A and B are shown apart, each in its own frame.
Chain A
Amino acid sequence: MEEHWKLPYTKELEDAISANEVCVVGVFGKSTWGHTSKGCVINNLTNSASFNPHYPDYLRKNGVYHTPNVETLIPNIECSFDQQKKVLFLHLTTTYDTAELVRACAMMRNHLDNHSDFHDFWKNQEVEIAFSLLYLFSVCHVLILVHPVSIFDISYDKLFHHMTNLRTKVLPHIKDVLKGCSVGRDWWVNGRPCPPRLLFVMQRCHLSNLQVESSGAEHSTKKKKPPLKRLQHTIEDQIYKILRNSRVLTNSAVNCLFTVPPNQAFVHIMTEQFEKVKTEEDPIRSMLKLLRSSCETHRDPTARSRAYRLLTNPPTQWRDEEEDEIEDASNPLWAFLSQHTDLLLSKKGFKDSVGRNALPTHFEVPSLKQWLKVANNLYDLFFMKVKKVETVDETKPDINEKILEMRQELHAQIDPESRFSEARCSKLVSLASAAYQSNLPMHYTSKVHNNQLGQALSTYALHARGPARDKYEACVQAECEAFWNDGRRLCEVHSLTGRHCVHRFHDLPTDGKSQPDANPPKMAHSSRSRTIAASSCGRIQGPRDDPFTLQEANYDFYLRMDVQALPVISDADTFKFPVHERNDKQSMVSPELHCLVEQLHLGSDSSSSEKDVAARIRHRTVSGESDCQTSTQESDSEEQLDEAKPLPADDRQRTTSANYEFSLNSETMPEVQSMDYADDMPQKLTYTEGMMHSGLAEDILPLFSSWSLVRLGAFSSYIPAHGLEMPGFLPGTSFLVPWDISLQGEDTGATHWPVPGEARKLSLKETKLMQQDMTKAYVGYEYETPRGQRFICSAPDKAVKTSGNGIVRDPIQPLLDMDMPLYCTSPVSARSGKPLLGQLMRVYVATPPESNAHITLKPKVVPGPSPTPTFYPSQNEIVLRPNSLWVLRFPYVYVSDSGPHLQPKDLSQLSAWRVLKMISVDIDH
């Protein structure tokens, strides 16, 4: 049998040893590491080194634990058999030992990330400790509770109380196990070889006068006993009284968890041995001590020669020599223990029952072999859950379950913290909910919700305590979320002008009909904000709802308005901005193929909420009708697509004819012609659901045009003296700015900034000559406020001015040479006194009848400071047909990938939102 081994013992025993009768001594308790760990107390008892001092691995491995292995943290029982003394020592290590504690903490450092898990982990450790102690109390004759300092730790009082209760529950199972172990009747009935005696060993004495008094003990004749003895007796008194009080100790030893001897010492305080351990532990200190003693010995002139001493007494034996002398002769710790073990080994037994009719207590001293059998079988019973023994035996799972039940019961008993915390925190949930619900409007946004939730949680946090805090915090959160979602939630979709929807949370109607009673109700968004806006042509005004979709904002609204504006402008007078013809084609494609197209063309976002439609601009490649030649990997599928996609002939014709008509009317429009797709030109391949801007790839078309360009009539339809005869214009601001265009090649005069009064200096003849070579055009930038007020500006932030009878003297040059602001404060402010902002909505150009002056529009808008993209229509250079009054209507909202570009909140920044200069003229010669 080797020096020390762990339970359960699995090896074969030598017969010589196994027949030995043994007294079993269990050692448990708290201790630190190194030479003050518990194992060293046993080493001290036996004067051997059978137990290694425990050090936390942490010290060696620098605290690196990657995977926590909780199973390695279960209490561990080491054994060592002292054959000479016939004593078997069991050494229980648990997380009460600091070395194990450090290991557990380091191991679990990153794995217990909430309070209740952490709490549970440590409570489970306590359950394990209680179970392993109960095991120890069931197999030992004598138990030694080791404590590092000389005080009774009153937490054992509670622990013993719980163990007493636990023992009565486990006893039947212990008896079942013992049936098969051929033990004596008393052992079987009581489930243990004898009522064990509990002894206390305290490692460090707290007396400060120990050294002083022990030397001068003789002359303090008054006191009968040395202070250490007196201290031991007081502590024995304290322990006995406390345990009697809590009824852990009673008169009848048989029923107690353990006994203490009534007339023998049961508390031992280590003094000299402990001091010796402490001083010897530090190698540097002991080496220095050796060196010192060597100095003292060898330099002593009266000593024998140094060589002689060294020969007879080599340094390695210097200390052993001293120790051998005191060994056994004075080992106070063994002397303390042996009084108890001797009683057993000499078959006298413990007589620890007190009272008048004290019953004799049974005891049995087993052979080592017999004991090992009991110990191994009981080990299975107590640590089954942890070991997960796979058994086919049908009775065992039953026991397993019962033991597990007991563990849980014990867990609940030793954990008043959780019960307290649960009770306290659960009460707070309703309080926190009430805090959330106070002062809430009927419907509210997530901002309000989060605010109130924050309040509720801080109310909760103020009172919530303990390990259950996190659990009920989640409850508070869930309850508040539920309250909000239960009809209190406001729809938070923002319109494209930045206002949020006023309805409660709702779905959009799929078929256009709103169903307010559905859950969630189905209705369209509304911000309840209404503005007055004019049609594309500007001839009529009407109310408009705050738009939530781009198509509504820039296309559908104007479509509806333009139909109402009579006379309806003919197709011929409408410039068709190129758009991607998706709907026509898709309607012709079978659903399966449609899916295929979707898959092919990276369109994965079919779950677009209404809010995102504007922001989410999708680019999809749609194979054009005539690009079969493109040799890509997709060519096969594309061919299939082409076959399955018969573009109706009349549709094609209609599109082409519209363009044809347009180009017929415009006599020279090279750009438009180049844009026209003839049969041999591929259609643009990709489209966007949003607007055209500089952030997109080049060959992209929108699904609808956000811009419109219509011809209101001939050049003559604009009467300069009347201005534009349209509703909504502020008085005197409906006049276009005249533009004198020189038809001569070098039209230097017209491009110069006119010096005031210069015109008058010209002679009549010259003027006439000039007038012959000049032609007149008119230009006007119209701004529109949300109230429907309209005004034309002749320069940035400058409304047009007329002198009496409608003659505009403002120069044209700023309009041609400068960028204009997109927003401009209205000359008339709102009733509140706040300035109203007008947005550039239309540009009017009256082109002269002369056909050799071609006015070109290149509209470009930068709606915001850098890095805002530049927006332009799908055809960004348009040569206007002569002899016409054209009106270019701008988009109402500008939306790019990053969402709508809203108008500035700070009026001082207005100039960053600008319309780049866009009008130029070419003269044919």
Chain B
Amino acid sequence: SPISHGDSPASKSKEGTSTKSSVKLLDAALNWSDTGIEQLQEQTDFLVIGVVGMQGVGKSTILSLLAGNQLNDPPKSFTFRPQSVEVQERAGHMTSGIDMAITQERIIILDTQPILSPSMILEQPQHFKATSEYSSGSVTVETQSLQMTSFLLTVCHVVVVVQDWFTDSNIFKFLQVAEMLKPVTPPPSHESTTTIKQNPAELQPVLVFVHNKTDSSMFNIRSIAAMNEVMSSFVNFSNLFCKSHFSLSESNLYPGLSTLVAPENEVNSFLFPDINDKENEEEKSDVTKVSYDPADQQFLSLPPYVGRPNTVLLENCFRKMMLSIPRHSITHQVLTEKNWFHYAARTWDAIRKSQLVSEYNRLLAG
């Protein structure tokens, strides 16, 4: 249901429903869809968050947390639907194209299709018998993933990179290429009056690395420090804001972490356990059946040991930290939500037609 623009009481009354469902920004064929603009307003205080990750890492789940869902909610009520059982069994992907949802806090959330997805290769029969000798579907999908990621790196204030194991160094190499293919931010047009004087090199998004489905052993501070070592090494030559915007050592979740990680080397990152493991936290048996000794009962009724912060605590902490990320401007002008939408549409068009991308694709196909 569209929200009447600039009319705050009206928009407030609809807020309850505004984050519940998402609309398509890009459809499955990666064509731009204009339906989303109806939900956007003519105001400038908003934040765009996008997501990058491989198939089944939990991109939609993480974004749903930002949109206000709890991990305990039934999956069907999530703003961005997580993989259904059928899709899981098909080893398929749930999201195609880009879905957009807007929260009460005016956060525009973009959920995207997976990068480097094997099931997407198989869904693209038209590319199969392509020109080059070695023009496999994987090259097509890699190029498409790069386009999608470059787009997000251009139009989002924050891009969340989700991984489900630590770590595939290819993800970092992939991000480097996507950054390389990122279009040049257009210089300010003369019509605009509110121009931000800024070094074009600083019009970059903040990157946050989220490790989802992390094993309990990885929640150890030495493991986190080792993970940070790898990440900080791979983002060292990136212009994206990968450090010091989102600090685990300042979050108090992991006491002692700050003694192992130097603040200037700390990469924005966060750890989530496998939510399917949450039964471990909650499982409670009827202790009276096991033992009649009150001392035993007391011991047995303790919550089970999980060796990491509680899921609900992590979830709340993540939401808070994401919302408090310092906001960088990504364009030379101050944009309203609607301006942003048009800017995003132009950017997607430019990336699809980009010579850089097609040049790189040619090199990839070798």
Contact = CB atoms under 8 A, between A and B. Distances in A.
Contacts of B216: 278, 281-282, 285
B168 interface: yes
A803 B58 CA distance: 101
Contact of B89 (A101, A227, A278, A291): A227
B136 A246 contact: yes
A587 B321 CA distance: 81
A204 B164 CA distance: 10
Nearest to A469: B237
A63 B229 contact: yes
Interface string A133-176: 00000000000000011111111011001000000000000000
Q: Interface of chain B, helix or strand or loop or mixed?
A: helix
Contacts of B134: 161, 246-247
A154 B118 contact: yes
B217 A423 contact: no
A59 B223 contact: yes
B217 A282 contact: yes
Contact of B118 (A151, A288, A296): A151
B279 to A, nearest CB: 8
B196 to A, nearest CB: 16
A155 B88 contact: no
Interface in A489-544: none
A9 interface: no
Given A417-B176, A463-B184, A245 B136 contact: yes
B91 A238 contact: yes
B137 A245 contact: yes
B169 A62 contact: no
B177 interface: yes
A635 interface: no
Contact of B168 (A30, A108, A161, A413): A30
A461 interface: yes
Contacts of B223: 59
Contacts of A281: 215-217
Nearest to B364: A416
A98 interface: yes
Contact of A206 (B56, B119, B305, B363): B56
Contact of B363 (A152, A245, A416, A465): A416
Interface in B250-294: 260, 276, 290-293
A230 interface: yes
Interface string A233-254: 0110011011001110000000
Interface string A290-305: 0110011001110000
Nearest to B172: A122
Interface residues of A, number: 80
Contacts of B182: 465
Interface in A352-384: none
Nearest to B136: A246
Contacts of B139: 158
Contacts of A421: 180
B225 interface: yes
B302 to A, nearest CB: 9
A299 B290 contact: yes
Interface residues of B, number: 76
Contact of A154 (B121, B128, B176, B356): B121
A95 B116 contact: no
Interface string A102-116: 100110110010110
Contacts of B137: 242, 245-246
Nearest to B91: A234
A242 B136 contact: yes
Contact of B293 (A102, A288, A299): A299
Given A58-B225, A158-B138, A204 B165 contact: yes
B271 to A, nearest CB: 13
A844 to B, nearest CB: 60
A157 B366 contact: no
A873 B180 CA distance: 68
Contacts of B291: 295-296, 299-300
Nearest to A96: B169
B305 A284 contact: yes
A56 B230 CA distance: 11
Contact of A461 (B128, B169, B201, B222): B201
B91 A295 contact: no
Contact of A285 (B90, B141, B296, B307): B307
Contact of B215 (A112, A278, A413): A278
Contacts of A36: 215
A326 interface: no
Contacts of B173: 122, 417
Contacts of B56: 149, 151, 206
A207 interface: yes
A285 B305 contact: yes
A413 B366 contact: yes
Nearest to B259: A62
A466 B180 contact: yes
A414 B269 CA distance: 29
Given A245-B137, A282-B217, A416-B366, 20 more contacts: A58-B229, A98-B167, A101-B230, A105-B233, A148-B165, A151-B55, A151-B118, A158-B139, A208-B83, A241-B122, A282-B307, A285-B306, A292-B300, A295-B290, A295-B296, A299-B293, A301-B292, A420-B356, A421-B180, A467-B237
The 6 closest A-B pairs by CB, nearest first: A246-B136, A416-B363, A105-B233, A148-B165, A115-B237, A465-B180
12 contacts: A32-B218, A56-B226, A58-B226, A105-B230, A151-B55, A155-B116, A204-B213, A227-B88, A227-B89, A238-B91, A247-B134, A284-B307
